[in-house]
């Protein structure tokens, strides 16, 4: 039987498959929550979910509205604080981090602060929140964002969250620990980063997406291997669980 899913459900499913059982993940509002909850309810029952407001190890019943929602503490091993969970990241205890961004460059640096000049910006964005901490201290960061020519840039004029900074030795020179951007997930596909150059590299295309889509919606040169895989698709059971997680369609919606 053919599985019917929305584009957002596909993104949530693909993001969930980036995680591992018996690992920890720092989760933000929206799709990261859904992806982590799906992973925990399917192949990663021992995934330790950590919320910025202090919920550690919950079994979240349905989608919280924010990281401070009471559901982020449901059956948790700890109802802690933002200070404690940020300290855990700084101490090297958190494996995965989820991030969003307004802009990204070829080395995985993120901008969520300004569009245009810092002194006279075209748009002032929300800023870092915990994003700089997550990008600096989690070992594998997963970025979920929409892709177009104004978001995928060769170089950013402002870096909110460090990726590999200016290349292979960038994080080391800045005094940051090992780790950094791991995967970037957009409406077209999944990207990783080349081990030698640390430049963004296409890993898989989503169903229906093409190499032309990648090139037409980017202002930077992305490494494109001669052979590119297709992203996995969710099963009917995955879709059922996703809709149980977000029964009101607050994030998943109809698209």
User: Residues with catalytic annotation?
Assistant: 52
Measured CA to CA, the distance from residue 68 to residue 130 in angstroms comes to: 13
Question: Is the torsion defined by CA of 122, 129, 45, 23 positive or negative?
Answer: positive
Any residues with CB less than 8 A from the CB of 63 and at least 6 apart, and which?
33, 34, 37, 71, 245, 246, 247, 248, 250, 251
**Is 174 within 8 Å of 162 (Cβ atoms)?**
yes
* Distance, CA of 242 to chain centre: 17
Name residues whose C-beta falls within 8 Å of residue 87's C-beta, 6 or more positions apart in sequence.
none
3/236 Cα distance (integer angstroms)? 6
Strand, coil or helix: what is 10?
Answer: helix
Q: How far is CA 213 from the centre of its chain?
A: 21
107: region left, alpha or beta (phi > 0 left; psi from -120 to 50 alpha): alpha
The CA distance from 153 to 150, in Å, is 7
Nearest Cα residue to 103 out of 147, 70, 162, 59: 147
Is 169:198 a contact under the CB 8 Å cutoff? no
Beta strands 103-105 and 48-51, pairing class? unpaired
């Amino acid at each position: 039987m053919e599985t019917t899913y929305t584009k957002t459900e596909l993104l949530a499913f693909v993001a969930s498959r980036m995680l591992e059982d018996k690992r920890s993940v720092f989760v933000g509002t929206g799709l990261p929550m859904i992806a982590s909850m799906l992973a925990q309810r399917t192949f990663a029952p021992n995934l330790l979910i950590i919320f910025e407001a202090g919920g550690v190890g919950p079994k979240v019943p349905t989608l919280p509205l924010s990281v401070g929602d009471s559901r982020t503490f449901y059956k948790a091993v700890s109802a802690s604080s933002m200070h404690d969970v940020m300290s855990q990241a700084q101490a090297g205890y958190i494996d995965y981090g989820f991030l969003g961004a307004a802009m990204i460059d070829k080395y995985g640096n993120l901008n969520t602060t300004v569009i245009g000049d810092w002194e006279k910006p075209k748009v002032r964005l929300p800023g870092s929140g915990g994003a700089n901490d997550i990008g600096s201290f989690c070992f594998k960061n997963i970025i979920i964002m929409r892709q177009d020519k104004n978001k995928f840039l060769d170089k950013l004029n402002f870096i909110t969250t460090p990726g590999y900074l200016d290349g292979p030795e960038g994080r080391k020179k800045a005094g940051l620990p090992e780790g950094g951007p791991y995967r970037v997930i957009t409406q077209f596909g999944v990207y990783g980063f080349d081990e030698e150059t640390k430049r963004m590299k296409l890993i898989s295309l989503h169903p229906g997406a093409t190499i032309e889509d990648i090139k037409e919606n980017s202002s930077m040169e992305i490494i494109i291997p001669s052979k590119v895989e297709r992203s996995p698709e969710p099963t009917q059971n995955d879709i059922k669980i996703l809709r149980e997680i977000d029964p009101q369609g607050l994030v998943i919606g109809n698209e």
